[in-house]
Amino acid sequence: MSGTTPSRAAGPAGFAGRKPWWQRDRTRRMAGRLIAVAFLLLFFLFPIYWLFVISIKTPDEIYSSPPVWIPDGFHLDAYIALFEDGDVQAIWNSLLVASVSTVLALLFGTMCAYSLARYRTGGIHLGLWIISQRMIPPIAIVFPVFLLYVMVGWVDTYRGLIVLYTTFNVPYVIWMMRGYILDIPLELEQSALVDGCNHWQVFVKVVFPMVRSGLFATAVFTFIFAWNDFVFALIVTRDAVTTFPVQITHYFGAQSTFWSKISAMSVLGTLPVMIAVGLLQRFLVRGMTMGAIKG
């Protein structure tokens, strides 16, 4: 409410003969805030800019000192190299693994969330146990899982990674979807039951459509998590299945570092995420803070 229409809050300049000091103070404050925002944007966006810009620089520009702030043109050699050398396979692998695990996590997680939300299955204990799974750091999970996978021969397989991501994401999905389900008025489901639907039909026909937007938002963050992950992929895969973060680390050599490739692969690996976030700004707060705050 304060400061909504500065152009109209013009004060009686003529009446008192001078510009009101309070008005000047407010404009000055807004200007100060915007300058601070500009600095913040610079700080937070520059490294991303820098990494991206390397992907289109020529080798001379990359290794020049003092550094070249704005490159001359678009040199797409790095990208072409990625495609020709087949490194792009990593992006494809990431896409496959992240998508499948997201779908599975959403499916299992929403089902479980419904059971917890509407039936209070397992009481508070089950819920707490599930949440605690999310809080364990990956390093504590990944090593045991690695041992398990060695035992069953799932190391370096797609299904191994997919199952791992799914399992790690399910608690997050449950936590989020539970909130969205609880937001639906109970009467809708009850009237469907009275109308003759069985529980499965209620779940599929009434609940699922109503939480569509919640599903969307949760899907994005689940996907982002699986997409960005490094630790799980590093440990559980070798050569057959390489996701793009792992691929990037291959470009860091003891002798030489292929900055162009690092940069180009980073761009390819980040664009999808940026687009997703841009499209779903509305759900940003709720999704990122795990539903702690309802945006």
Binding residues for other proteins restricted to 55-74, rule: CB under 8 A: 62-67, 69
Give the residue with the Cβ less far from other proteins, 39 or 74. Answer: 39
**Whole-angstrom distance, CA of residue 270 vs CA of residue 193:** 45
Q: Which of 207, 227, 241, 283 binds other proteins (CB under 8 A)?
A: 227
Interface positions, 71-100, toward other proteins (CB under 8 A): none
Interface positions, 104-133, toward other proteins (CB under 8 A): 107-109, 111-112, 114-116, 118-119, 121-122, 125-126, 128-130, 132-133
Question: Minimal CA–CA distance to 192: which of 201, 182, 181?
Answer: 201
- Residue 240 is classified by DSSP as S
Give the residue with the Cβ less far from other proteins, 76 or 271. Answer: 271
Interface positions, 20-59, toward other proteins (CB under 8 A): 20-23, 30, 33-34, 36-37, 40-41, 43-48, 50-51, 54
Number of residues that bind other proteins (CB under 8 A): 119
Q: What is the DSSP string of 127-190?
A: HHHHHHHHHS-HHHHHHHHHHHHHHHT-TT-HHHHHHHHHHHHHHHHHHHHHHHHHHS-HHHHH
Please check whether residue 179 is in contact with residue 127, taking contact to mean a CB–CB distance below 8 angstroms: no
Interface positions, 147-176, toward other proteins (CB under 8 A): 147-148, 151, 163-164, 166-167, 170-171, 174
| Angle between helical axes of 89-119 and 259-279 (0-180°, round to 10) | 30
x/- string (CB under 8 A) for other proteins, residues 245-284?
Answer: x--xx--x------x--xx--x--xx--xx--xx--x--x
Task: Give the nearest distance from C-beta 63 to other proteins in angstroms.
Answer: 5
Question: Minimal CA–CA distance to 52: which of 282, 260, 293?
Answer: 260
